[in-house]
Amino acid sequence: MEQIVYLNGALVPRSQARISPFDLGFLYGYGLFETMRAYSGLIFRLGIHMERLRRSAALIGLPLEALDLGKACYDTLKANNLADGRIRLTVSIGEGEATPNPPKHPRPTALVIAASYTPPSAKTYQKGYKAVVSLIHQNSQSPLSRLKTVNYLNQLLARREAKEKGADEAILLNESGLLCEGSTNNIFLVSKGNLTTPDEESGCLPGITRQVVIELAKELGLKVAEREVRLEELLNADEAFLTSSLIELMPLTEVNGKPIGESKRGKVTERLMSAYKEAVVKETKQGA
């Protein structure tokens, strides 16, 4: 069966989904997105994703009030007979003129793509990711660093750099050389049993999974510090891991060829990985 996508209110086969090339999302990157994961028919933390999207949309002048995007996500999932998978929601300011002025009366383009998702293997979750520090830096002095915009080429190029260097992931520092984030995820350090993660002022995306992990860690009685983090702290940490809606928590066991801690998945990381899985199961049952 051909993939079905949601586009501006309609569910259509992928091959028939078409937008204008005058869409300012295409011409100027004037758009936002969310990546979510569905488990047993439940889109995990959909409400928080929608909240972040609407907050970001208000900041860049993208009117989303008229759209029921949460329903669109579920409709797309169901239209593709998926109970589990990944969901990508994209909204742009819609069609305009090919000039750097937003349309006076924007009619946003909304797109939902749902697809099956194969997580990294159990072996990968056991060994963890190897990362390199990218030559590309993130810019904490742009409001965009805190928004999930489609201006994503920096991250894609950092990712390419990592692959070329034989690594799984790229870590981006900010313009001051402070730790910021992975190319498509947030980063946590474990030292003496407690967590540290770069604060939003460092220029990282306020990730939803990052937020869930902070909550779970506190429930487990761990201290969590959100603050400026130096790269050396990462290299000297006992454990480290990356977070995103798709990979959930992924151990980070090597950076620039240097082992993190004992270069294997750590105990605190394991506890949080389990806690995340449990939270998913719990919410899935409540949702059912």
Q: How far apart are CA 225 and CA 206, in angstroms?
A: 14
Candidates 2, 40, 71, 100: give the one binding a copy of itself (CB under 8 A).
100
Q: Does 186 bind a copy of itself (CB under 8 A)?
A: no
Q: Tell me, residue by residue from 235 to 254, as one string, x for binding to a copy of itself by CB under 8 A and - for no binding.
A: --------------------
- The nearer residue to a copy of itself, 26 or 39, going by C-beta atoms, is 26
- Pick the piece of the chain touching a copy of itself (CB under 8 A) from 30-38, 120-128, 219-227, 272-280: 30-38
Min dist. Cβ of residue 25 to a copy of itself (A): 5
Single out the residue of 70, 78, 154, 201 in contact with a copy of itself (rule: CB under 8 A).
154
Q: From the CA atom positions of the chain, what is the Rg in Å?
A: 19
Three-state secondary-structure class, residue 11: strand
Q: Measuring CA to CA, which residue among 18, 43, 184 is closest to residue 111?
A: 18
Nearest to a copy of itself of 90, 211 (CB atom): 90
Under rule CB under 8 A, residue 105 binds a copy of itself: no
8 Å CB contact between 47 and 255: no
Q: Closest Cα to residue 66, out of 29, 33, 107, 103?
A: 107
For residue 134, the minimal CB distance to a copy of itself (Å) is 10
> Which of these, 151, 149, 75, lies nearest to 113 by C-alpha position?
75
Does the protein bind a copy of itself through residue 17 (CB under 8 A)?
yes
- Pairing between strand 31-39 and 85-92? antiparallel
Is 118 a binding residue for a copy of itself by CB under 8 A? The answer is no
Give 145 or 197: the residue with its C-beta nearer to a copy of itself: 145
CB under 8 Å to 6, separation ≥6 — which residues? 72, 73, 75, 76, 79, 110, 111, 112
160 binds a copy of itself (CB under 8 A): yes
Instruction: List Cα–Cα distances, 264 to 37, 130, 254, 260, 269, in angstroms.
Output: 26, 11, 9, 8, 10
Interaction of residue 144 with a copy of itself, rule CB under 8 A: yes
Q: Which residues bind a copy of itself (CB under 8 A)?
A: 5, 7, 14, 17-23, 25-31, 33, 60-61, 88, 90, 92, 97-98, 100-102, 109, 111, 113, 115, 136-139, 141-144, 149-157, 159-160, 175-176, 183-184
